[in-house]
Amino acid sequence: MIVINLDVMMAKRKMSLNELSERVGITIANLSILKTGKAKAVRLTTLDAICRALDCQPGDILEYRNQE
């Protein structure tokens, strides 16, 4: 299972969903879908833009958890 820790990184950077949306160039609705883990996929260009905006690595946002 892949877990999206976008809210954790946003809190660490003290960045709102609105601000991240403006910096990344995607809608608040799409960011919200990603943040809540309901997204089925994420484009690498979107992940790149989020990492640039939050000054982080993809591994800071994406986490793999084994479902045993």
Selected from 3.40.50.1700, 1.10.260.40, 1.20.1260.10, 2.40.70.10, the CATH number assigned to the domain covering 2-58 reads 1.10.260.40
For 26, residues 6+ apart whose C-beta sits below 8 A from its C-beta are 46, 49
Over the stretch 16-45, which tens digit does the pLDDT of each residue have?
999 999 999 999 999 999 999 899 999 999
For the chain, what are the domain ranges?
2-58
Kindly state the average pLDDT of the residues 11-20.
Answer: 96
Burial of 25-60, coded b for 16+ CB within 10 Å and e otherwise, reads ebeeeebebbbeeebeebeeebeebbbebbebeeeb
Query: What is the identity of the amino acid at 22?
Result: E
Assigned token pair, 47? 């992940």
